[in-house]
Amino acid sequence: MSINEQKNCIFCKAPKKNGFNVLTAFICLDCEEKIASLSFDDPQYCNYVREIKRFWEVLREEEKVL
Ligand SMILES: [Zn+2]
C-alpha cells in the first residue's frame, strides 16, 4: 500500500489521502472533524449516523456471503 494511495471516503464519497480506516471503510479527516464537531441534535448528525448504519449493513451482508 503506498502512502499516496487515495481512498473514497464513505461519507463524502471523495477520494482522499488523509483519513483513517474503520475495518474496510475509509473516513477522511474532513468528515471525521465534521462528525466530531456536530452535536447530537444537529440534523446533519442524523445523516452521518444513517451512513454509518448503512455501512454496517453492507458489512453484515458481506459476512453472510463469507
Ligand atoms: Zn469524507
Cell matching residue 42? 444537529
CA of 29 to the centre of ligand 1 (A): 7
Domain assignment present for residue 1? The answer is no
Please state, as a whole number, how many other Cβ atoms lie within 10 Å of the Cβ of residue 43.
7
Domain assignment present for 46: yes
47 part of a folded domain: yes
Predicted pLDDT of residue 25: 85
Mean of the per-residue pLDDT values for the chain?
84
What percent of the chain has pLDDT above 90? 24
Q: From the CA of 14, how far away is ligand 1's center (Å)?
A: 6
Mean pLDDT, residues 12-33 taken together:
90
CB-based burial label for 11 (10 Å; 0-12, 13-18, 19+):
buried
Q: Based on the structure, what is the number of domains in the chain?
A: 1
Helix, strand counts (H, E) of the chain = 2, 4
Please tell me the distance between residue 33's alpha carbon and the centre of ligand 1 in angstroms: 9
* Domain ranges, residue 53: 7-65
pLDDT of residue 66: 61
Please name the residues in contact with 21: beta carbons below 8 A apart, sequence gap of 6 or more.
7, 27
Per-residue pLDDT at 5 exceeds 70: yes
For ligand 1, the distance from its centroid to the CA atom of residue 35, given in whole angstroms, is 10
2 assigned to some structural domain: no
Distance 61 CA to ligand 1 centre (A): 23
Q: What predicted TM-score, i.e. pTM, was given to this entire model?
A: 0.65
